[in-house]
């Protein structure tokens, strides 16, 4: 039986960034032992709440707050860019502050209120060496030995980015699932397919490891922007159009910044009956 059943109910928040949706549990308010089993139960869109990722907020001695992320299959992820933006926006609205520092397994991430409902987060420097991504063996990360000549990038989680003629024509469900488990990626990988609209504009579709097809992904957007700049397809400041909308990526000297809208959809409480069944 989960430790959570000791509570009369577990409050949660539903948020999304460009349709990339999250359940957020603020464990500063209601301490809870989040487990992979709880994450999987919450992720069920028929019997739970449904999400692409679960984000848990806890106190931090070194930052304004700490974030821990779970994929829909209950596995941990060090980074989740859109969830980081959503929670930063919520916290800035609550505190009135224009910027925050958020501690994650990816490292310390800095966020800013950009005005007009837009929130920016610095996702840190990309990981470009094969062992840091990580890959299973020494490999040229700019040209992976995989059909389609993809690029590997680490953003605290691994990414495999394909540049194609038409991202819309790709069988994302079949290829995403296949590439996620490619033996070159010992920790599995997120998968992106993108095509060039202009030298400052890409169209991208996303398969996230442990979740599947998503309408958007912040870390994937950062990875594709880095890969496109490394390939010479774009500059370092670009717009990416995802299934859920547009996000701005700016690869600067201090890291990869992403800027976009966020949404707080609703707040709710998980019932004791639901928690007791986990």
As a whole number of angstroms, the distance between CA 258 and CA 272 comes to 38
As a whole number of angstroms, the distance between CA 34 and CA 222 comes to 28
Is 39 in contact with 49 (CB distance < 8 Å)? Answer: no
Residue with the bigger pLDDT between 6 and 256: it is: 256
Is 222 in contact with 216 (CB distance < 8 Å)? Answer: no
The confidence score (pLDDT) of residue 8 equals: 76
Ranges for all domains in the chain classified under CATH 3.10.310.10:
3-122+262-276, 151-253
**3-122+262-276 homologous superfamily:** Diaminopimelate Epimerase; Chain A, domain 1 (3.10.310.10)
The confidence score (pLDDT) of residue 5 equals: 40
Place of tokens 């420097």: 125
pLDDT tens-digit readout, 81-120:
999 999 999 999 999 999 999 999 999 999 999 999 999 9
pTM: 0.93
* CATH T-level fold of 151-253: Diaminopimelate Epimerase; Chain A, domain 1 (3.10.310)
Question: Residue 232 region, left (φ>0) first, then alpha (ψ -120 to 50), else beta?
Answer: left
Answer whether residue 51 shows pLDDT above 90: yes
Crossing angle of helices 218-231 and 81-95, rounded to 10°: 120
pLDDT tens-digit readout, 133-171:
999 999 999 999 999 999 999 999 999 999 999 999 999
pLDDT tens-digit readout, 2-27:
444 445 799 999 999 999 999 999 99
Question: How many C-beta atoms surround the C-beta of residue 33 within 10 A?
Answer: 10
């Amino acid at each position: 039986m989960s430790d959570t059943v000791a509570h009369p109910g577990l409050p949660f928040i539903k948020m999304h960034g460009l349709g990339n949706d999250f359940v957020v549990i603020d464990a500063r308010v209601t301490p809870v032992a989040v487990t992979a089993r709880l994450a999987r139960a919450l992720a069920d869109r028929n019997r739970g709440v449904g999400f692409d990722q679960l984000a848990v907020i806890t106190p931090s001695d070194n930052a304004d707050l700490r974030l821990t992320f779970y994929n829909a299959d209950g596995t941990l992820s060090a980074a989740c860019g859109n969830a980081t933006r959503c929670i930063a926006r919520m916290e800035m609205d609550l505190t009135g502050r224009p910027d925050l520092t958020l501690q994650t397994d990816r490292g310390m991430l800095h966020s800013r209120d950009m005005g007009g409902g837009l929130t920016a987060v610095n996702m840190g420097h990309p990981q470009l060496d094969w062992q840091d991504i990580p890959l299973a063996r020494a490999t040229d990360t700019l040209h992976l030995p995989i059909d389609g000549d993809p690029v590997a990038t680490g953003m605290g989680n691994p990414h495999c980015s394909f540049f194609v003629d038409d991202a819309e024509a790709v069988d994302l469900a079949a290829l995403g699932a296949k590439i996620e488990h490619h033996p070159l990626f010992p920790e599995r990988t997120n998968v992106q397919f993108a095509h060039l609209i202009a030298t400052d504009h890409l169209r991208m579709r996303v398969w996230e490891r442990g979740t599947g097809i998503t309408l958007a992904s912040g870390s994937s957007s950062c990875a594709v922007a880095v890969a496109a700049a490394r390939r010479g397809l774009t500059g370092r400041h670009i717009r990416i159009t995802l299934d859920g909308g547009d996000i701005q990526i700016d690869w600067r000297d201090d890291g990869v910044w992403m800027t976009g809208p966020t949404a707080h959809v609703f707040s709710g409480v998980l019932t004791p009956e639901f928690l007791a069944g986990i």
